[in-house]
Structure formats: C-alpha cells, structure tokens
Structure 1
Amino acid sequence: MHTQRRIVILGAGYTGMLAAVRLARRTRKLDVRITLVNPSARFTERLRMHQIAAGQELADHRIPELLAGTGVEFIQGSATSIDTAAQRVYVDGTVTLHYDELIYALGSSTDTSIVPGAADHAWTLNAPRTAHRFSEHLAVVDADGGNVAVCGGGLTGIEAAAEIAESYPGLQVTLISSTEPGAMMGDKARLYLNKALDRLGVVREIGQAVTKVLPDAVELADGELVAADMTLWTTGVRVSPLAAQAGIETDARGLIVVDPTLRSVSHPNIHAIGDAAAVRQAWGQIHGTCQSGMPTAAYTADTIARQLRGKTVKPFRFGYFHQPVSLGRNDAVIQFTKADDTPGRYYLSGRAAVRYKETVSSSPVPSFKLSKKVTMSVQLSKGGKATRATA
C-alpha cells in the first residue's frame, strides 16, 4: 500500500501552471508527488496571442524551466481519457498516471464549429504557432492593401482588431459583432474605446450575426458580404469533452460542476479550475477569464495542502474588479467593476491605463517564479458582501 499522495494536474495554462508551482511549495514537507501534463513544452500566454498575430515576438517560456526547483514532474502529452473508478489518466495512449487527487485545468478554446465555413476559412488565436502563421499571411495581405475581418466584439476581438490596425495602418480592419463592442463597460469607458477604434481606423459592423465565413468574405444575417482576405474568429467558446466522456458531472457547456470548494460534485477527488469549472457565487456564475482563473488555481493548491494536513477549508470566494482592454501598444482602457462584473463608476484610460495593465494583468510568468518562494496573493477581490452569502 502506497502512502505517497499522487497529484496529477491536466493542463499547463495560466491556472495549471500556478496550481503546480504553488502546490509544490505548500506541500514541500509532505510525501507528495505532483505531475503536470500538457501537450506542449512551451508555456502559452494566451491573453497575448493577439500580439503574436500582429507580428510581435513574445518571450519563449519553457514549462520545464519554469518548474525548475519545484520537484514537479512534467510530462509532455495529451490526456486522452480518465478512468475515475481506477483513478487513472491515460496520456497519448501510452502513459498511465495514477492519481489520488486530480486537478482538471484543461481550459477552453475558440469554437469554430457553430457557423458554416468558420472552421475552414477563419483563423483563431488558440495557439502561438497558429497566431504566428496568421501574422505571416497578414504581412502578405498588407502588402496587397487587403482587408481583415475580426469576428467577435468581446475583449479578445477588440484587442486583436486594435493591435492589427495599429501594426498595419494600410489594412482595412473590420470588427464584426452582434452586440456593441465593449457592451459590458460603462458609457464613458465605452466611448473612449470607440474613439480609440476610430483613431485606428477600425470599421465596425454591429448588430448582425455572422451566418457564413467564405474564403474571401464574411456573410451577415441580412445577406451583406464583408470583404475579408483574412478572417479572425474570436467568438464562441468550447471546452475539452474529456470530463464528460469520463462520466464526471458537467453542465450544458461541458464545464465540471463543482461544490463551494471547487471539487467535482460527482467525484470529490477531482478539482476543477479556470475555464474548466462551473463556479457559482451568490451573485451568479463566474465566466472564464485570467482574472477569475488564477484565484481558482491558488485556492485549489491551498485547499489540497490544507486537506493533506487535516485542516478545514473555507468556501471559495471571488468578485470581479476590472475589465482591462489594450488598444494597441500605447493605449488602453480599464473599466473598474462591481463583484458581478457589471461596470462601476470609475475607469482609467490612455498611458495610465497602459501602465496599470502592464503592472496588474500582464505576463503571469513573474507570478510563477515568485510563487516558488512565497505564498503570494493573485486575487484582487473576494467580492465583499456580494459573496459572503455563499459561506
């Protein structure tokens, strides 16, 4: 009979990486073996993929290097199935990992399956390699004075459209959205955002859904065709089907249903974090962002460490604090929010917003490195009164 506790973490994105590093530090005096599984050895800064797409180079951070000194074992591969009864994870059909505790951090990706032609003719920002290939094609389209359509008026679409327009002022960039870009912001912040898009020359097609993506155009619901030598798809989210296939209870979107301590309600030794978890607070359900994901990772690492020591844990509490949006390299707007992510009274813009964003919500790599040495906070707000009712 083994006494060593085996903890497997699936996914080495923002949340999986933080959970691995933080848990290693919190359990360094315990008999624990932590294994982190990820398809790539490169750490992907997904929130900065729009910069790669616009032709910028980001630092190449390698996961084994980020884990150096933690004792965490890294396995490069894709989890293909989970046997919850035997508590095993199968990786690429060749590696079998036994676990006592499983942290499920597989995250999400852009869904191109809903609209005809999107999977065949649109680009996404799901991976650095794809974003880099997009930038290479973008340079060719720019040389020909072409058109680029960005589908989706959420934060990713706005940031991508602004970044491309700033980097390639000769391109016509069209942002297509069924709702007003920045609709989640207050009036003043949204006005600033739109002025910035005007300054960058970004054309907006608002109020209609995309019905088809063609090789050289995007078709809208009224039949209008928006010319597009390249189409970037940033709307719609899908998660890995792995949890549902394993019989773990999920919601209609495939997110793992968790209890107040972020453990699966059907399999308590499975912890879901980030985009993979259906996390409810008194004010409603958390939606997947780095702002909410990192706290779920830190909380889960701390929770497992406390449970291994026989200590009690308190329910997870979280409240949103801000909506940071970059508008190219030299401009940004920050909408400060209430706990439920509705806009508050204040916003920040211009160079001050750029400095704020780079300080508060830039690369997570420094947080990983610091978490090897100290237990640091990665949460801006626990929601105050809005979340105390969940206790």
Structure 2
Amino acid sequence: MTDILVLGAGYTGTAAAIRAAVKTRRLGGRVTLVNASPRFTERLRLHQTAAGEHLADHSLRDVVAGTGVEFVAGRVAALDVERREVRLDDGRVLGYDKLVYALGTVTGDSVPGVREHAHTFDDHRRAVRLAERLDALQEGTVVVAGGGLTGIEAAAELAEAHPRVHVVLLSRGRPGAMLGEGARAYLEAALERLGVEVRGGVEITKVLPDAVELAGGELVRSDATLWTGGTEGLPMAAESGLTVDARGRIVVDSALRSVSHPDVYAVGDAAAVSQRFGVLHGTCQGGIPTGLHAADSLTATLRGRTPKGFRFGFVHQPVSIGRKDAVIQFTRPDDSPRRAFLKGRAAIVYKEAVSSSPLATYKLLKRGLVPVGLFSLTAGLK
C-alpha cells in the first residue's frame, strides 16, 4: 500500500484527493483527506455568507463518499517532512508515503491591528462573524481594505445586502486595475450605483477598533473593517524545512513536487507554480487544475513513469457585483486583459457557468473523467 495524505479540503485539496483515489486504486493507493472543519466551504462565496446569505451546507464525508477516500477531521499542527508525519492539534499523528499540501494561504497581517481588529475571509466561521456584526450594526460605516477581486466583490455584496450601511473601499492602487478600460469603467459605475465610496491611491498604516489610519495620519471611521489586502502561506511549510518563496508558498517543479522534498506535492494557493509568464497568483482558475495535475503526477510516479509538466493559461477574470450584476474580463494566458468583456445579465450567466459549485466537477472526477469547463476550463491536462 502507498499512503497518500492530502492536507486541506478546499476546492483544490478535495479535487486532488478524489482524483488520486480513483487513479491509484489499482496501484495500492490509500488516500486520507484531512481538514479542520467537517464541512465543505465554498471560499469563493464567502462574501455572500458575510452579506447574510445562507448557502447550502455540504459534509466533506458526503462529498468524497464512494471514492475510497478516508476523511479525517482535525487541524494540522505540525509537519515533519523527514519522518513523513503530520501531527494534528489533538495529538494524533498521521504517517504518509506521499503528501499533497493544499492548506492554502491566510490573510497577511503585516499592518498593525489587522489580526486584532479586522474581519477576514480565512474561513467560513470568520465570514459568519462579519455577517453577525453587520446584522447587529444595521447602519454605520464598513471599510473594505484591498482593491483586488475579493475586495471588490465583498464591497459590492455588502453594499447591496445592507443599503443603510456606508461601504468604503480603500486600495493602494486603482480598484479593478487588473481589468481592461471598458470593464473597469463598467465596474466603477456599478460600484457608484450601489453607493460604494471608492478611494484609490491610499495606504493603510494601522487598523484600529473603530477606524483605519492612513499614511499621513488621516483616520477613516469604521464600525467594521474587512481586510482583503493580500495573503501569505502558513508558517508551517517553512518551519518544516520545505523550500518556500517570499510569501511562504512551497516552491515546486513542473510536476508540482516540492523542489526540496519530492515526496511532497503542493497545490493551489499554497504553491509557487512557475509558468513561462511568471509565478501563478492564487485564483480558482488555477486551483483545481493544480490539484488534478498533482494527482496525475503522483500516479505517474507510482507507475514508474516521468510526470508531465504542468501547463496553464488564464482565460478570464469573472467579477460579481452583488447578486444582480457582474463583469467578465477575458484575458491572455498571462492574465493581462484583452479588449473583450461581458457585462450585466450575460456576465451573470457566464460567471455562474464557470464558477458554480464544484460538486458537479467532483462527481465527474469520481467517474474517472477529466472535467471540461467549470473550474478546469484551462487545466491543460493531457
């Protein structure tokens, strides 16, 4: 038997576990999936949870049922790559022959006060906590820090769901800077229509209990602050001796194996994956494809074959603007914007098609099929 341990049951880890179980079944593969929570969290939709929407609750045991994957509920406390062991916070120790590291990233806290006073989308529980705060607030000011896609979607969602709350979106650059001119203009008009106050070109130097401090000393009053200004890998990876980059992500080769410990595969946001155009930034587009490829690489290794290199190219940037609007920016493989984009109802239909719940994708994986479309639109798996 070959013990394959998958850490993290987000979009990517769950896909990797199912794929590995199906493909290594006849090779003696025994897959165990570890996650801190027994529920499957759709991280892409945490802004909807924060706005008060009640999404379907899925048990991870049900998600992997019928695949042979053993699910273990427990929070990973330490990783020993020399002894090939993982210790959980309750003292249990799990051994492995091959490890898939899919623990993702957490919100960076280099700015003072983020950890103590800001809400984040690191997990479902934190999103629920923000929803409870907004329900209690009724009116006031909410500051969303960060003008990337997460910050934009959150600001729009909160403003639409809580029209009596004043939402302020703060960003170092221009929010939506990754979009083309036409898509960005549409986005800015939509945010203005929702009443979101957008302030670009500002730097937050401190998060306080009731405000955020900007460079220069200006205070922006805040009854609740949501921090979306960047992520970093868990310190566990570096502490274990794995080679990581400046953001704490595990550096991998073309087969998605750790460059320092080839029995460890890293996927999704937790991995620094190099392509011809640079290192992938964490998005749902690249997440599941890396999970599938790592499982395929692992299978090839068990068969005594040379794994194929991972190839990936971006195709779009879907952005929801509340529940009633969206914009889709089509991109080049390096994620730079093309001229083409969708808006309004057409964009809503498109986004729901490519970013819908991954449960349909997992059902295909259970049958041994490579999903086309949905999260795997650009997987490049051959």
TM-score range (shorter-chain normalised) is over 0.9
Under a length normalisation based on structure 2, what TM-score does the superposition of the two structures give? 0.96
Q: Secondary structure at the match of 1:27?
A: helix
* 3-state SS of paired residue (2:189): helix
Identity, in percent, stands at 55
Partner of 1:114: 110
Verify: 1:69 aligned to 2:66, yes or no.
yes
Aligned length: 378
Residues 84/119 of structure 1: CA separation in 2 closer, same or farther (3 Å cut): closer
User: Following TM superposition, by how much is the alpha carbon of 1:9 offset from its aligned partner in structure 2, in angstroms?
Assistant: 0.6
| TM-score of the aligned structures, taking structure 1 as reference length | 0.94
Q: Could you tell me whether the CA contact under 8 Å between 1:24 and 1:34 is conserved in 2?
A: yes
Q: Which residue of 2 aligns with 1:387?
A: none
1:149 equivalent in alignment to 2:149: no
Residue correspondence of structure 1 range 1-391 to structure 2 within 5 A: 4-92=1-89, 94-111=91-108, 113-142=109-138, 145-377=139-371, 378-381=375-378
Give RMSD over aligned pairs. 1.5
Taking the aligned partners of 2:28 and 2:380, their CA distance within structure 1 comes to 35
Give the secondary structure class of the aligned counterpart of 1:28: helix
Give 5+ residue unaligned stretches, structure 1. 385-391
Aligned mates of 1:383, 1:180 — CA distance in 2: 32
Query: CA offsets, 1:289-337, max 9 Å, x none?
Result: 1111111001111121222223332110011111110000010001010
Measured in 2, the distance between the counterparts of 1:121 and 1:84 equals 35
What displacement does 1:94 show? Answer: 2.1
Structure 1 residue 140: deviation in Å?
2.1
Contact 1:320–1:383 (Cα < 8 Å) also in 2: no
Conserved? CA contact 1:339–1:383, under 8 Å: no
- SS of the aligned residue for 1:51 comes to helix
Q: Which stretches in structure 2 are left out of the alignment for 5+ residues?
A: none
Please list every run of at least 4 consecutive aligned residues from structure 1 whose deviation after the TM superposition is greater than 4 angstroms: none
Task: Measure the CA separation in 2 of the matches of 1:283 and 1:313.
Answer: 21
- 1:221-241: per-residue Cα shift (whole Å, max 9, x none)? 132221211111111212111
Letter in 1 for 2:312: F
Which amino acid letter does the alignment assign opposite residue 116 of structure 1?
Answer: P
Match of 1:389 in 2: none
CA distance in 2, matches of 1:29, 1:251: 36
Q: Which sits farther off after the overlay, 233-242 or 184-193?
A: 233-242
Deviation at 1:383, TM superposition (A): 7.8
Contact 1:122 1:232 in 2 (8 A): yes
Partner of 1:388 in structure 2?
Answer: none
